[in-house]
Amino acid sequence: MAHLVQELVFNSANRFPDEEALVYRQSRVSYAELANDIDVVAKAMLVLGLDRGDRVAVYLEKRLETIAALFGASAAGGVFVPVNPLLKAEQVAYILRDCNVRILVTSADRLKVLLPVLPQCHDLHTVMVIGSADAQHSITDLSRTLAALRVIPWNDALIAAVAVGSHRSIDDDMAAILYTSGSTGKPKGVVLSHRNLIAGAMSVAQYLKNGREDRILSVLPLSFDYGLSQLTTAFHVGATGILMNYLLPRDIIGAVEAESITGLAAVPPLWIQLAQLNWPTNTSLRYITNSGGAMPRATLDLLRDNLPNTAIYLMYGLTEAFRSTFLPPEEVEARPDSMGKAIPNAEVLVVREDGSLCAPGEPGELVHRGALVSMGYWNDPEKTAERFKPLPTRQSGLPIQELAVWSGDTVRTDEEGFLYFIGRRDEMIKTSGYRVSPTEIEEVIYATELVGEAAAIGVAHPMLGQAIVLIVTARTGRNLEQDELLSACKLHLPAFMLPSRVEVREGSLPRNPNGKIDRKLLAQEFQNTFIEPAHE
């Protein structure tokens, strides 16, 4: 059994050395080859001065070197920090400074973009640069610009790797820091232990019934815990991970066919797009999963029609505890709006503000306890104390109490214990004295089958507290009128939930780095806009 995250690869290399571990474009890497690559990278980082627990940031798209760098940092006794490749220079610099990154792995092109901000990153001492031979000719010039940093080509660092003593690690040590958007201000670094990552891989593989025959397509960012999970789960069972940086949603369907993909994970905005495309009559997909938000009912229905032989897993998770719930595929038809129940090796509770348990049907905060609860927020004891707290109902004579994650999400259970999402505290709209879930409004809009994407947000209003603004895009091939959507809202929603304004936009709604609709950015656009109250 693996205790450290790199052992997921090493153990599979011992069992299935010749089986495919990774596919990237035309390259196919066996488990034995991947294990060797990780070992060499770990030695290279140790030669470059990586100390125990030092942070290694990887600012790259998904590619073979990205995986070797992440797991190599762990094998060397360091902590890997996957940085979303969509982030801009200032955002990358914030992460590098916030968690005191010592080694950065990036490409020559990305390094050029980072040049103006790297002098702000005082703890950074080495940059390992990946790229073609032509791109790496520019490294000499970059080295002159970054006089305080050691800039070394990736291949040169690997050639210089020698056997050196690695730092001892145990499963309670830090393994990774994942940055997640905060409710306010800068992103927070969620610290994950080796135990967290191993327990997550084992739990997910158990309920998805993963095996070495699976071929799992990785389309989500590896900086997103949901995206990283595609790799750790695959490595745990000896399956194959296929790395993809897609341009268009239809490219994903092409990859599913070309690589005989059996497992695909995505977030709701991507599923909304994929559901509207033409899928082949017979597909290799054994299962698909959704997390990162509720899947609209209309999208779920389309996917069930397009993929009648594919199991659909509806899930809920948060970076602070990785994954919390899943709905078994056999329950989807009867409970399409449910988040399901707790994943294996976790307990999920619904509690009141005083920590007491809610009755079935009573809204309360979702609290997660178990092996997947992370170590807290990097260098932020105040926010950690707000989110990671003991459960009053679980107190005992132990002097050190177990900490659980208080999610900030409002949910309820039915009489059979199935969970249902109501809304996030920081996304709930407070209007006319009512707390309104944007998800409930969006479900009505998606059910019209007129829109491609929809987002309901709350905008400050002098009389209502907040007015509801609905921003949508038209479904492909349809002309969309505001009155059609307002009529649907009036038919299915009470007056206090009616949008005060409907705005139809071209193209796609903005995304945050994890691919979700960026509600905060949309809300900022309306900060100084006066919104008339809705009229019946």
pLDDT digits (tens, 9 = 90+) for 374-424: 999 999 999 999 999 998 766 667 778 889 999 999 999 999 999 999 877
Q: What is the mean pLDDT of the chain?
A: 91
Does residue 492 form part of some domain?
A: yes
Pairing status of strand 311-316 against strand 79-82:
unpaired
| DSSP E strand boundaries for 301-358 | 311-316, 325-327, 338-342, 346-351
The answer to whether residues 208 and 77 belong to one domain is no
- The model's confidence at residue 183, banded by pLDDT at 50, 70 and 90, is very low
Q: Is 120 within a domain?
A: yes
Residue position matching structure tokens 């019946």? 536
pLDDT in tens, 449-505: 899 999 999 998 877 778 999 999 998 878 888 888 999 899 888 788 899 999 999
Residue 181 lies in a domain: no
In 3D space, the residue among 391, 432, 381, 436 whose CA is nearest the CA of residue 410 turns out to be 436
In this structure, the answer to whether residues 469 and 416 fall within a common structural domain is: no
Token output for 122: 């005082």
Domain identity same for 344 and 410: yes
Share of the chain above pLDDT 90, in %: 70
Asked if residue 174 belongs to a domain, the reply is no
Structural domain boundaries enclosing 313: 188-392+402-423
CA–CA distances in Å: residue 54 to residues 40, 177, 189, 397: 18, 11, 15, 36
* C-beta of residue 223 within 8 angstroms of C-beta of residue 179: yes
Among candidate residues 534, 471, 463, the one with its CA nearest the CA of residue 497: 534
Are 292 and 366 contained in the same domain?
yes
Q: What is the DSSP letter of 467?
A: E
Q: Which residues of 7-32 are buried (b: 16+ CB within 10 A; e: fewer)?
A: bbbbbbbeebeebbbbbbeeeebbbb
Type and span of the H or E element at 78? none
Q: Are 217 and 244 found together in one domain?
A: yes
**First vs last C-alpha separation in the chain:** 62
SS3 for 168?
A: coil
Shared domain for 200 and 344, answered yes or no, is yes
Co-location of 67 and 140 in the same domain: yes
Q: Does a structural domain hold residue 207?
A: yes
Give just the sign of the alpha carbon dihedral 47, 119, 188, 293: negative
Residues 413 and 448 in one domain: no
CATH number at residue 88: 3.40.50.980
Looking at the structure, do residues 418 and 434 belong to the same domain, yes or no? no
Q: Cβ–Cβ contacts within 10 Å for residue 123, how many?
A: 12
CB 104 within 8 Å of CB 57: yes
Answer yes or no: do 518 and 386 share one domain.
Answer: no
Residue 163 lies in a domain: yes
Residues 128 and 206 in one domain: no
Could you give the CA distance from residue 332 to residue 336 in angstroms, rounded to a whole number? 5
Same domain, residue pair 79 and 122? yes
Closest CA to 82 of 61, 111, 98: 61
User: What is the pTM (predicted TM-score) of this model?
Assistant: 0.87
Specify if 182 maps to a domain.
no
**Residue 180 domain-assigned (yes or no):** no
Domain count, the chain: 3
